[in-house]
Amino acid sequence: MRAQFVLSEIGVGLRRNLTMTFAVIVSVALSLALFGGSLLLREQVSSMKGYWYDKANVSIFLCNKSEAQSGGSCAKGAVTEEQKKQIKADLDNMNIVKKVDYESAEDAYKHYQEEFRKAPIAGAVTPDQMQESFRIKLKDPTKYDVITSAFAQRPGVQQVQDQKQVLEPLFNLLNGMNYGALGVMALMLVVALTLIVNTVRVSAFSRRRETGIMRLVGASSFYIQIPFIMEAAVAGLLGGMLACVMLICGQHFLVNNWLAHHIDVIQFIGWGSVLSKLPMVLAVGLLMPALAAFAALWKYLKV
């Protein structure tokens, strides 16, 4: 195999179809950027899920003085020490409960101040506005309704909140976005593959004189096909690099410089996650067009 010969063939091929090559590069870049983006979004969702689900499964919020004034389930007044003890004892006796943590109003205030320290609302909140609560971990998180039916109507309990119920819509939205991105990616991928197949066909047709002679003098089909396959692979690799640049720009401008400043409560994925996806994006960018080219040539350049 003479590398110089193959390389010059690839160069000639890419230049000959400059517009087609450009189209291949752009469509591969877009589909791979969406591919990488959806991988990152998935990671973001799972890291958020882990973070939030780990914190608490079910919370029992207890009545404080200000809740008592607003009526509703707390109309009978703030929770008493008696009631709290009873709730704690009942929780400890339930075998579906793994762990119970008590959070006092002061603790809640502290956490609140930490979480929202940059937001202007933090200054306006006072400790006695905060609620005491029990944070309960369940052995089986789906059985939260047992807790709800046992404690929701008790005196001194303001609300039983399943944190999953609160977070689920958000995660559903993010998952929906992820599926949307995957769908668009699939369409772009079809476009990219069709373009590659077409480009390779045109390329093979415009060089049929050369390939015809190569066949006659006994060049192996590998030798005949490799310039076309490499051509597609080089275009795909360029597209993959472009996709990497898009992902890096997305992380830098969208996540680090914008989202992270505007949304405090979410821990966003960092550079490590982004960089770890790049080799995969490049590999797919290289292999996918090469395989498409190989498939396109399968019928076209028989011995």
Partner 1 sequence: MIRFDNVSKSYPKQNRPALRDVSLEIEKGEFVFLVGSSGSGKSTFLRLLLREERASHGQVHVLGKDLSRLSNWKVPQMRRQLGTVFQDFRLLPNKTVGENVAFALEVIGKPRGEIRKAVPQVLELVGLGGKEDRMPGELSGGEQQRVAIARAFVNRPMLLIADEPTGNLDPQTSVGIMKLLDRINRTGTTVIMATHDQQIVDQMRKRVIELEQGRLVRDQSRGVYGYQH
Q: Which residues bind partner 1 (CB under 8 A)?
A: 1-2, 5, 209-210, 212-221, 223-224, 302-303
Query: Distance between CA 96 and CA 28 in Å, rounded?
Result: 51
- Residue 12 or 122 having the CB closest to partner 1: 12
Residue listed under structure tokens 């049929």: 208
Least distance from partner 1 to the Cβ atom of residue 302, Å: 8
Query: ∠ CA 70-75-81 to the nearest 5 degrees?
Result: 110
| 179-191: burial string, b at 16+ Cβ within 10 Å, e else | eebbeebeebbeb
Exposure class string for 43-57: b at 16+ Cβ within 10 A, else e: ebbeebbeebeeebb
User: Is residue 264 helix, strand or coil?
Assistant: coil
DSSP 76: T
Phi-psi region of 134 (alpha: psi -120 to 50; beta: other; left: phi over 0): beta
CA 57 to the chain's CA centroid:
23
Q: How far apart are CA 97 and CA 138, in angstroms?
A: 5
What is the number of alpha carbons within 13 Å of residue 125 lying toward its C-beta? 20
Q: What is the DSSP letter of 79?
A: P
Nearer to partner 1 by Cβ, of 219 and 255: the residue is 219
Shorter beta-carbon distance to partner 1: residue 11 or 183:
11
Output 44 or 203, the one with its CB closest to partner 1.
203
Between 222 and 263, CB nearer to partner 1: 222
- Minimum Å distance from CB 212 to partner 1? 7
Name the residue nearer to partner 1 (CB basis): 37 or 227. 227
Of 163 and 221, which CB lies nearer to partner 1 in the complex structure? 221
